[in-house]
């Protein structure tokens, strides 16, 4: 069997066409969605990620606010910047590019973002929402994976899903989202003993470990759906400089029923879901403005942000 390719680039493009219509609809009501991206320091990879997000905003008609702060910016100043953006009605989404310089406590910064504008979905309120199956903004990468899975036409209910990687931004929220859809979910991490013993049982295998070549064909069940979240730049060998995932794509595609390539799989979806969340936030703000009974239907905790 040779797997069918799950094309994240094509799905992303299709979704962005739909975004234009939503942006036009918001414009008719006097709203232009706005996304603020804060970069502290000059990490080259972060600069590229931020650049991609700004570019996606331009493509979709979303106004972007790029706030570049020097690496030695005191935490208090970063918090003050966030407070200003929280209060700015032109800003519907705020994200702070991770990682942050060591003197800044990521949790303090993430919790400072208004839950109404937390389009990365990293605020504890949104993380907690995932646990009870009712988050406002699902985190972008797992959200994108979920849509990629949907394109295969697979109902995940009752399926064995194995998530390799347990980070707060990918593995854990991914597992919670699929648990919510009634999959039987196993989470593996660096201390998991005999990884293959788990992965071989997966109807759906999602890999987000950041380890090139971690998943080889012997670890994959015949006919499994394999989603490779990993993004790794090879540093040596004949393919030095090449971007690869965590899965041995050439080997595993002969066993899987569906597989995502790297690049062109999950990567494009992450930025697209960020725009989706920003539009959702703008639409939500508009609804709040229009609803007389907003005070009653909005949960009290949301009024703090
Ligand atoms: P992370 O914070 O470094 O977490 C990696 C996770 O993988 C940890 O839970 C770690 O276990 C686990 N792990 C590491 N080695 C393992 C092994 N040999 N076997 C099993 N589990 C192992 O990374 P992340 O931020 O989640 O990102 C993971 C990968 O996805 C990276 O390549 C990153 O570049 C990529 N990524 C891609 C996108 C995208 O848009 N496509 C978005 C985000 C991240 P412990 O918890 O035990 O340490």
Nearest CA to ligand 1 atom 40: 267
223 pLDDT above the threshold of 70: yes
Task: Report pLDDT digits (tens) over 52-62.
Answer: 999 999 999 99
Would you say the CATH fold of 140-266 matches that of 29-116? yes
247 pLDDT above the threshold of 90: yes
Confidence at 120, pLDDT banded by 50, 70, 90: very high
Mean pLDDT of 67-93: 98
Say which residues have a Cβ less than 8 Å from residue 55's Cβ, sequence separation at least 6: none
Nearest CA to ligand 1 atom 5: 209
Mean pLDDT of 227-242: 94
User: Which positions are catalytic?
Assistant: 53, 97, 120
pTM for the full model? 0.94
Nearest CA to ligand 1 atom 2: 167
Q: Is the dihedral of CA 262, 7, 118, 29 positive or negative?
A: positive
66 exposure class (CB count in 10 Å sphere: 0-12, 13-18, 19+): middle
Is it true that domain 140-266 has CATH number 3.40.390.10? no
Check residue 303 and give its pLDDT: 38
What are the boundaries of each domain within the chain?
29-116, 140-266
CA–centroid distance, residue 61 to ligand 1 (Å) = 32
CA–centroid distance, residue 302 to ligand 1 (Å) = 31
CA distances from 273 to 44, 184, 249 (A): 23, 25, 24
> Quick check: CB of 231 below 6 Å from ligand 1?
yes
Q: Output the CATH code of domain 29-116.
A: 3.40.50.10860
Ramachandran angles phi, psi of 216, nearest 5°? -110, 165
């Amino acid at each position: 069997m040779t797997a069918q390719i799950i094309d994240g680039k094509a799905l992303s493009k299709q979704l962005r066409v739909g975004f234009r219509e939503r942006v036009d609809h918001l414009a008719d009501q006097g709203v232009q969605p706005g996304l603020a991206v804060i970069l502290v320091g000059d990490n080259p990879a972060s600069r590229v990620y931020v650049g991609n997000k700004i570019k996606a905003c331009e493509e979709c008609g979303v106004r972007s606010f790029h706030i570049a702060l020097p690496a030695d910016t005191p935490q208090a100043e970063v918090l003050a910047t966030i407070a200003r953006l929280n209060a700015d009605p032109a800003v519907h989404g705020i994200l702070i590019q991770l990682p942050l310089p060591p003197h800044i406590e990521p949790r303090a910064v993430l919790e400072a973002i208004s839950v109404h504008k937390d389009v990365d979905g990293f605020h504890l309120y949104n993380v907690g929402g995932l646990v009870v199956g009712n988050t406002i903004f699902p985190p972008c990468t797992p959200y994108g994976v979920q849509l990629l899975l949907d394109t295969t036409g697979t109902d995940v209910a009752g399926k064995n899903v194995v998530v390799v990687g347990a980070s707060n931004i990918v593995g854990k929220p991914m597992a919670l989202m699929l648990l919510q859809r009634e999959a039987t979910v196993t989470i593996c991490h660096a201390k998991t003993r005999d990884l293959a013993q788990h992965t071989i049982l997966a109807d759906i295998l999602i890999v987000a470990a950041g380890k090139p070549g971690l998943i080889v064909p012997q670890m994959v069940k015949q006919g499994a759906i394999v989603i490779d979240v990993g993004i790794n730049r090879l540093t040596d060998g004949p393919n030095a400089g090449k971007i690869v995932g965590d899965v041995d794509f050439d080997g595993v595609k002969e066993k899987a029923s569906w597989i995502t390539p790297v690049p062109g799989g999950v990567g494009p979806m992450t930025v697209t879901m960020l725009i989706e969340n920003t539009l959702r936030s703008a639409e939500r703000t508009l609804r709040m403005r229009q609803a007389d009974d907003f005070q009653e239907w909005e949960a009290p905790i949301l009024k703090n942000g």
